[in-house]
Structure 1
Amino acid sequence: MTSTSAHATASTETYFDTVRRLSSAQKTAARGAPPYSVYVNRRVGRYLAAGAFRLGLTPNNVTTISASFTFCAIGLLAIGEPSWWLGLVVWLLLAIGYAFDSADGQVARLRGGGSPSGEWLDHVVDSIKISTLHLAVLITMFTHFPLSSSIWLLVPIGFAAVAAVSFFAMILNDLLKAKHAPRAPLSTAPRTAVRSLLGLPTDYGVLCLAFVLLGAPLAFFGLYTLLFIANALYLALALGKWFRDMTALGRVDVVRP
């Protein structure tokens, strides 16, 4: 569907027709996709995408809206004094930003496909968000938290490193698979509830929700630390699997005529 035909379709269908059309065109979730991202964020993003599409917004417009909510939250986290109201505001802004982050790709599908510049913008915004969120935690911990030792500041520093490496490795996985095995069949293994739940601590939506506890700094830091440990362990296991996947791609290149 071209952009012109997409707009023609939008003019003859209702908002809920657009939602239903988008629902039938959803991408298949990855086997290990955590439940918040699949069952909550994607569905909220679907309603936002339908509204944005009918308003004539482009995917880049939606990405910009997502970035605005997200970076407002990160700025407030860095400069504000921890409190219950601040935690609720930070969570809400991050959650809305995350939903719009899901919506931009869905708007692109409604319009007949995305663009390289749109995908680039989406990834750049994500990369900035992933690192600066944990740096904002570092600032507020250093400024306001009653830490028994400065060594605890290594937690948000480590979390920033884990998040950045995870994001870069996943993007690199996709690039190398597209380059070395463009015709390789997609995995048909079903996504199981157990596998999905095991990935829950790595879900960005769960990290956003943790900021609700910002009014109780020690409780927040305890949960934040547990999420960091879970993400670090998950990354350590994933890196081994991803390296084996890349090794298999090398064998494909060797046997390819």
Structure 2
Amino acid sequence: MTTSHRPAFRANYAQLQAAQKSSKGAPIYSLLVNRPLGRVFAAAAHRLGMTPDQVTVISAVCTFTGIALIALVPPSLPLALAVTVTLVLGYALDAADGQLARLRGGGSLTGEWLDHVIDSFKIATLHLAVLISMYRFFDVAPLWLLVPLLFAAVYVIHFFGMLLTDLLTRNARLRLGLGRETPQAGSSVMSLLKLPTDYGLLCLSFLLLAYPPAFLWFYLLLTVANAGYTLLVIGVWYKRLRNLDAELAAQ
């Protein structure tokens, strides 16, 4: 299909704006920055005739460029800007691929698989890159090197727990004949409270690489906040699945 036969950018953007995902549980950065920026990229990508997988790959290139820079280049203002821009772009494009799939009439199993595999790669390597940077370029006590290791463990646990809970919940609801949960509007207060756990805030935190001591302490704060949130949400997930178990047993 030629460019002249594709919907205009404004039409694509308006269609996406009218068909957004539920804001339930979404942190404020995702709501105010990442999803709107993703809509812009998705509308432009559709106009250019790109596929969701192509957008996913570009997102991965941006993200892994930023991760490589963290591990390989000493902290400085230029590095801080480069890492932040590449990670923010990668995150926005990660939001764009799903929106582009909706514009094209729906996604695919392979597209969802590719998206989650790249997310897993990102989660597994980002904090290890911070660990390498601390070891090579920061004048810190050895105890500080445990912080990115803890953050990496927390991120993997949270990501896997979230995916598994969602999968088991959907399967249980189908067995109960309930279908998908009805999307609900999220609380703005909860969105704000969840900001420390938002990947977008983590992306922006790398601006502090221009002043390494500030980055260290802010990174530690994010580690503690994410660890605390993960412990709390694991309890919520467990109770949700216990309730579904009870409903299944009562059938």
- Interval of TM-score (by shorter of Structure 1 and Structure 2): over 0.9
* Counterpart residue number, 1:27: 21
The answer to whether the 8 Å contact 2:7/2:47 transfers is no
The answer to whether the 8 Å contact 2:8/2:47 transfers is no
**Does residue 1:104 correspond to 2:89, yes or no?**
no
The answer to whether the 8 Å contact 1:105/1:114 transfers is yes
The answer to whether the 8 Å contact 2:34/2:92 transfers is yes
* Counterpart residue number, 1:13: 7
The answer to whether the 8 Å contact 2:3/2:47 transfers is no
Letter in 2 for 1:40: V
Counterpart-to-counterpart distance in 1, 2:249 and 2:98: 35
**Does residue 1:246 correspond to 2:248, yes or no?**
no
Structure 1, unmatched stretches of 5+, are 1-6
Structure 2, unmatched stretches of 5+, are none
* Counterpart residue number, 1:180: 172
Q: 1:124 to 1:185 in 2, by over 3 A?
A: closer
**Does residue 1:146 correspond to 2:139, yes or no?**
yes
Counterpart-to-counterpart distance in 2, 1:139 and 1:92: 20
Q: 1:12 to 1:128 in 2, by over 3 A?
A: closer
Q: How does 1:97-246 map to 2 (within 5 A)?
A: 97-147=90-140, 149-182=141-174, 183-184=178-179, 186=181, 190-246=185-241
Counterpart-to-counterpart distance in 1, 2:4 and 2:232: 45
Counterpart-to-counterpart distance in 2, 1:251 and 1:193: 32
Secondary structure at the residue paired with 1:251?
helix
Structure 1: which 4+ aligned runs deviate by more than 3 Å?
7-10, 187-190
Counterpart-to-counterpart distance in 1, 2:47 and 2:58: 16
Counterpart-to-counterpart distance in 2, 1:221 and 1:40: 25
Q: 1:241 to 1:8 in 2, by over 3 A?
A: farther
**Does residue 1:90 correspond to 2:58, yes or no?**
no
Q: TM-score, normalised by structure 2?
A: 0.95
Corresponding pairs, count: 248
Q: TM-score, normalised by structure 1?
A: 0.93
Give 1:22 deviation, angstroms: 1.2
**Does residue 1:75 correspond to 2:102, yes or no?**
no
Counterpart-to-counterpart distance in 2, 1:117 and 1:63: 12
